[in-house]
Structure 1
Amino acid sequence: MTGFVVIRDDTPASAIPKGAVVAMGNFDGVHRGHRAVIGACLDMARIRKAPAFAVTFEPHPRKFFAPDAPQFRLTDEPAKLRLLAGTGLDGAVVLRFDAKRAATTAHDFIQQELIERLGVQGIAIGYDFHFGKGRGGSPAMLVGEAPALGIEVDVQPHVDFGDHPVSSSAIRKALAEGHIAAATEMLGAPWFITGEVIHGEKRGRDLGYPTANIRLDPQCELKHGIYAVRIGRGGKHYDGVANFGRRPTFDNGAPLLETFLFDFKDSLYGEQLDIAFIAFIREEEKFESIEALIRHMDDDSARAKAALAADHGAFPKLGEVA
């Protein structure tokens, strides 16, 4: 088995490596708590000389149960898989979360998916992860059934940040409040987005700050403001400063991420970039003149360069997904 393997519901049985050890969870953000579960999976797999896989669900179960509620995801499916691929796992089992899966009992899920289809030897799970119809599957239930199933179960305790466990919801809240350092600490690496560079109004050229513009998911709740960012492109990283917001000095339009790359001249239109958020500089403001705006942009750039110099090149570790 070479590369990071992705197994889905329609993957034929002949293409599924049997006898793996799995880390099971939703893994939104692949934060430090998730990484503890993945680490336990990797340790178990190493001892057993078995492949190590993540078992996860798409779309996120919250989307199925509350389709009309806002869903600020830290990582969409491609980003989540790239982060999982960067942990050392051999692959991921991505199971579609639909009405049929929501109605599957925990016992049936364990027997049909984990034992019969995957033939797992071991399962690592977080202390608060539940699965199956009515959330009937729990860490305690898995531990209780492990001897009869002939598998090993490892339940990881919570990983704390300050007085609270690290969680995807706590990271979302930190990002919504502009607390980038806290989000980075809980994630274990800077939060990032991936998007295609689109054409904008090209005002940045006239201001001396040509930007790469990316539309984020409309449900993204990142605080509007100015950020020090690090950009991933073609295996290389570039420093920059970005504005995420509505551009109140000009049009107060739809939210847009506008990124200025330092010491970079090439065209980026149509390219996919990874933008990692390193530090929050200030809130978005409306300025009374273009001159005032440019002065603040100059100051923002200087502050962003200082923040980037202080973080020693931090960037999320991303793997290749076929």
Structure 2
Amino acid sequence: MSRLFRDVDGGELFPQGSVVCIGAFDGLHLGHRALVRHAAARARALGLPAVALAFEPLPREFFATGAKPPRLSLARNKVALLRELGIDSVGLLRFDGRMAATAAEDFVRDMLVRRLGAREVWIGPQFHFGNRRRGNLALLQEMGAGLGFSAGEIEPVHVHGERVSSTRIRELLVAGEFDRTADLLGRPYTIAGRVVRGRQLGRTLGFPTANLRFPKTPALAGIYATWVHGVFEQPWPSVSSFGTRPTVEGVEPLLEAHLFDYAGDLYGRHIEVEFVAKLRDEEKFNDLPALTAQMHRDAEQARRILSEHRLRATA
């Protein structure tokens, strides 16, 4: 049975044992997928549940002293993708001061052995955990020999000669290189969520939008040609703004997708926005008429790009 758990403390979760993989899993790129699929396959071979351990917030977010580092995906999307990849249970562990101070050895004994009954533990290349990042493959193998589990490391994944990593994907997103991003992710870059009510300014300006909150620092910002999935069987063409909306003094990052030639009510619907091309950076306009004129130009450019994109996809 699929389950989500958050704490190191508590009773034994898998008395029969489990196969565990550990990682940040931000974006779940091809490297992450290789790790997760390998762990899931080992779990099936042993007749045990497959468990993925991740952390929320990410350790690098917790330790950041200034602006929070960008995220590729939100926790809820990460959990959904892990389950799609064959994981039975997800541990989305709270990363706080207590977790940061936990010795790697204590994490192995309390989490991996006592709570999860780990029979095998799998990590990605150069993965570290625990206080002062002392936990690594060598420590896992040394402790596992005495505690009854084995540990292994997945080889790095390379695409077109470059190593797949979340850092590289963030760089590509900033540069607007969505085709190369998709190569490293194994799928187009998307952001998913439930449509929430905004200020409805777009409707007033003739550009009603479906709004998705992103309560983390996003890895990209600007105006984009996009496809919206989840409204119809086929992806729907759209132009999207992602950022803090400087002209109307926005604060929290918001993804606003204007679906072309669509007038339905999407509030509460779960949609997914696929990024195709960057049109421009966010810009603060002097007044709303200037903003509206630019929105029309953005929409025309997005329609043209998406028409060409569809033709390439069907060629």
TM-score (norm 1): 0.82
Q: Which residue of 1 aligns with 2:247?
A: 251
CA contact (8 A) 1:32 1:159 kept: yes
Output the aligned Cα RMSD: 3.0
The CA deviation at 1:307 is 1.8
Structure 2 CA distance for aligned equivalents of residues 109 and 218 of structure 1: 27
1:280 is the counterpart of 2:282: no
Query: What is the DSSP-based 3-state SS (H/G/I as helix, E as strand, rest coil) of the residue aligned with 1:251?
Result: helix
Structure 2 CA distance for aligned equivalents of residues 282 and 274 of structure 1: 22
CA contact (8 A) 1:178 1:280 kept: yes
**Structural mapping, 1:1-322, within 5 Å:** 1=1, 4-9=2-7, 12-13=10-11, 16=14, 18-193=16-191, 194-203=193-202, 207=206, 209-217=207-215, 219-233=217-231, 238-244=235-241, 251=247, 253-254=249-250, 256-262=254-260, 264-269=262-267, 271-284=268-281, 294=296, 296-308=298-310, 310-311=312-313
Structure 1 CA distance for aligned equivalents of residues 214 and 311 of structure 2: 26
Q: Which amino acid aligns with 1:251?
A: T
Q: Which amino acid aligns with 1:135?
A: R
Aligned residues: 306
Structure 1 CA distance for aligned equivalents of residues 244 and 24 of structure 2: 35
Structure 2 CA distance for aligned equivalents of residues 246 and 52 of structure 1: 37
Structure 2 CA distance for aligned equivalents of residues 153 and 289 of structure 1: 56
CA gap of 1:139–1:299, structure 2 versus 1, over 3 A, is: same
CA gap of 1:289–1:124, structure 2 versus 1, over 3 A, is: closer
CA gap of 1:218–1:12, structure 2 versus 1, over 3 A, is: closer
CA contact (8 A) 1:278 1:307 kept: no
Structure 1 CA distance for aligned equivalents of residues 30 and 221 of structure 2: 22
CA gap of 1:67–1:86, structure 2 versus 1, over 3 A, is: farther
Q: Which amino acid aligns with 1:6?
A: L
Deviations 1:156-206 (A, max 9, x none): 011123343211111122212212122222111222222533234444565
Structure 1 CA distance for aligned equivalents of residues 244 and 93 of structure 2: 40
Query: What is the DSSP-based 3-state SS (H/G/I as helix, E as strand, rest coil) of the residue aligned with 2:67?
Result: coil
Structure with bigger RCO (C-alpha 8 Å, 6+ apart): 1
